[in-house]
Structure 1
């Protein structure tokens, strides 16, 4: 039996097919690279000589495995996977930086918390205020966090990616770079996403090659992977289908639902400032769990990190380390379970804090505009 989310997604795909539409936002043709996750999505330039997976024995073996596991016709899966093209730029895009790369929070932040995204975010907030307020009430996720995600991911739908998702997922399933430190796990992950894409396409009766997205296979304003779309996407505008390519309301509700599904706690802050005195073994111990909340405020204080405004905070915290390279000293924060929930989109403290700060800046600019309008100032 299909889940409600899958059923609604199938309806959306089927309607698009019946109308002769590819599920691609017009702005996607202008996609450009954004960040390491691939949520934007470099514009897809196909190789000069297309290389298809039809002639690859390992591709046909994978097709047989997917067909058997999901109860799909083997010939159909083989045909679909055989039509997928190898994209040589994709393995390069998912390859980690070379050794010696210096992380720099200041530089990273400047790519996302910047005037273009802030202005676009204010316009988005004004246009979709009702949906944002409704999502905040229903899911307990602040509007500024939802706005921050959609802004970082796609600049509010302007850059949703123009790769054929089938090509991207096939490439990552069959030609993930072996030198990657997590090559085996990531290959299995993308094979699961490819299987879900094929399963959804078959049940919906659509051409899977009509779907465009990021080089990692993420789709729509919220850049959901196929399994996330299946599990967490919602019909938030009430039109009977899920369409995060063209419905901002669906994207807003789906992002909020995703966070709830990944542990968002209504009313909790995302971060606390800290008074940082830790060093040596204390600092190493606090940094060992990375961004996974593992310490109470009292335990952090015992190791030299006082949580400002949260000295009696009893829920788990993580010490967030923000290296700045040559731009300045390393910065530190205490991250809560809600900060960790944001990293379920992208395992990166830089990413999560960019989402938080972009959302805050957009909210401030939005409120300033409201106040100016109320006072009669242009």
Structure 2
């Protein structure tokens, strides 16, 4: 069986020593090397490995691709080491007081207000059809691509193959995204090798991953095709359609303040459980000693903590609309930055 990669001989000889001396203590637990440390830039991907043999078999048997077609598309694939480095250094891991300011700049706020005015009629139609507030739609547009000016410089076909082949923690996810990319390219007459986007494989002004494009992108300009790269109506309507699918309700609360400390260990447990830590509104009220706005359909809430620059915390009850944004990006920091940007659009 051929290995997926052929590691340089010096790396193979040094790896046991690295595992010993990278330990936190003299005889402590070894620190695993990062995926980027195990490959070199431009390293060829072995298409005869079991990973790719199984992928190609599925593409042929279940999706109707020809073997020769796949060989033409995949031939010459190499690793993009920078993608692996960035996956282990994502900005969303920063504390909120460092993460949010780069998204809440005067430039982002000012340009968002200009675009809200410029696309007033379009956004009114989107609100009417999808039931998502225009400020939230434009805020996501701004955060994702600087209102279409920065869509990403990575070749997402190479990116997804890099992550499928050399990033074990997300390999299964990017295997499916590779399939989705090939399907959407075939459906829309695109060359999968020519699409550019982010190091995570998202593309277009809405920064959809391929599966999200296929599920939620819409044709809102009447062109007969879904275009999140060049059509502003399609971009904004697709953002709204995504949020609607994940339970967005027009005019419903996004969050409520809980103060600078949590009054019960059960609230801290819910916070640490993230998306799984849902509690009924009444329980949060009783445990924290606060009164909270009602919830549509009495849906449960999440407990969120935002890190402050002085070392303290700002705690929130995250309502279903807030939770809908975290389906887009599974980060409460991201969701709150989007909400704050939308709030700044409305501020005088």
Give the TM-score band, short-chain normalised. 0.7 to 0.9
Post-superposition Cα deviations, 1:101-136, rounded to whole Å, max 9, x if no partner, equal: 985211111010111111221222122121111111
**Structure 2 gap ranges (5+):** 1-38
Bigger radius of gyration among the two: 2
Deviation at 1:235, TM superposition (A): 0.8
The residue aligned with 1:342 is 325
Q: Is the 8 A contact 1:307 1:334 kept in 2?
A: no
Larger RCO: 1 or 2 (CA < 8 Å, sep 6+) = 1
Q: Is the 8 A contact 1:278 1:305 kept in 2?
A: no
Structure 1 residue corresponding to 2:196, chosen from 212, 223, 229: 212
Equivalents in 2 of 1:189, 1:142: separation in Å?
Answer: 31
Q: Is the 8 A contact 2:206 2:228 kept in 1?
A: yes
Post-superposition Cα deviations, 1:65-88, rounded to whole Å, max 9, x if no partner, equal: 333232211221232122433111
Q: Is the 8 A contact 2:112 2:345 kept in 1?
A: yes
Deviation at 1:330, TM superposition (A): 0.6
- TM-score, scaled to structure 1: 0.74
Matched, 1:301 2:285: yes
Structure 1 residue corresponding to 2:162, chosen from 167, 171, 181: 171
Correspondences of 1:132-143 after superposition (within 5 Å): 132-143=123-134
Matched, 1:131 2:131: no
The residue aligned with 2:316 is 333
Equivalents in 1 of 2:155, 2:164: separation in Å?
Answer: 14
The residue aligned with 2:186 is 202
Structure 2 residue corresponding to 1:92, chosen from 77, 81, 85: 85
Q: Is the 8 A contact 1:320 1:349 kept in 2?
A: yes
The residue aligned with 2:60 is 67
Q: Is the 8 A contact 1:52 1:82 kept in 2?
A: no
Q: Is the 8 A contact 2:252 2:296 kept in 1?
A: no
Q: Is the 8 A contact 2:160 2:178 kept in 1?
A: yes
The residue aligned with 1:356 is 339
Structure 1 residue corresponding to 2:234, chosen from 212, 229, 250: 250
Q: 1:312 to 1:221 in 2, by over 3 A?
A: closer
Q: 1:68 to 1:287 in 2, by over 3 A?
A: same
Deviation at 1:281, TM superposition (A): 2.3
Equivalents in 2 of 1:201, 1:108: separation in Å?
Answer: 34
Q: 1:110 to 1:77 in 2, by over 3 A?
A: same
- TM-score, scaled to structure 2: 0.80
Q: Is the 8 A contact 2:42 2:81 kept in 1?
A: no
Equivalents in 2 of 1:228, 1:146: separation in Å?
Answer: 16
Equivalents in 1 of 2:190, 2:93: separation in Å?
Answer: 45
